[in-house]
Amino acid sequence: MWKPKQLAAGELPTVHLQPSDLMVAKHPTMLVTILGSCVAVCLYDRRRKVGAMCHGLLPKGKVNMSHQDCSRFVDCSIRKMVTGLAEKCGSLPEDLEAKVFGGARMFSSAVEGKSSHMQLVGTENIKSARLALQHFGVRVTAEEVGAAGGYKIFFESHTGKVYCNSLRRKNSPSLFAGR
């Protein structure tokens, strides 16, 4: 079976993203996060061999929110990654491809029936990611979203390869390699 360590020929620096984190990786880096109803978006620039990943908690920030305080929101995190890749690496939105993960259903239907917020946060995070990417003209090349349970994501920033492992389904890893 394929393992995340097989992504890189050698050892890569590894950064574990927590909720509300994002990273623009100018140098080869393994970006790792664990998701439930949150969403991770991996951006990759094939031409420049650079990438970025975010771990967004909630769908949308306020319009007047400061750039510095908005990383917990999916839409704002995507904006920060697109502008960060442009500023640090010279990436253009049309050179980027996105892979979207998460937005899982984390609660049983009995629990979800008691709170519409619990039912909607994952779905709304997915919608927000898709809309923000569309707004910036970034094409989505892979998705693994909305399943029951969480995910563990490994993103190799300089190749665009992503390993997505479901935390609920046994033996269900999938590789979303760059095309």
Question: Domain limits at 113?
Answer: 15-176
Residue 88 included in any domain: yes
Residue 50 included in any domain: yes
Residue 7 included in any domain: no
Residue 2 included in any domain: no
Rounded to 5°, angle at Cα 35 from 75 and 96: 45
Residue 5 included in any domain: no
d(CA 46, CA 54): 18
CATH number, domain containing residue 53: 3.30.1330.200
Q: Any idea which of 18-22, 87-91, 107-111, 121-125 has the lowest mean pLDDT?
A: 107-111
Task: Catalogue the active-site residues.
Answer: 38
Q: Which residues contact 13 (CB under 8 A, 6 or more apart)?
A: 27, 28, 29, 30
Q: Any idea which of 4-8, 16-20, 71-75 has the lowest mean pLDDT?
A: 4-8
What pLDDT band is residue 113 in, cutting at 50, 70 and 90?
low
Task: Name the nearest CA neighbour of 20 among 72, 84, 78, 77.
Answer: 72
Whole-model pTM: value is: 0.85
What pLDDT band is residue 130 in, cutting at 50, 70 and 90?
very high
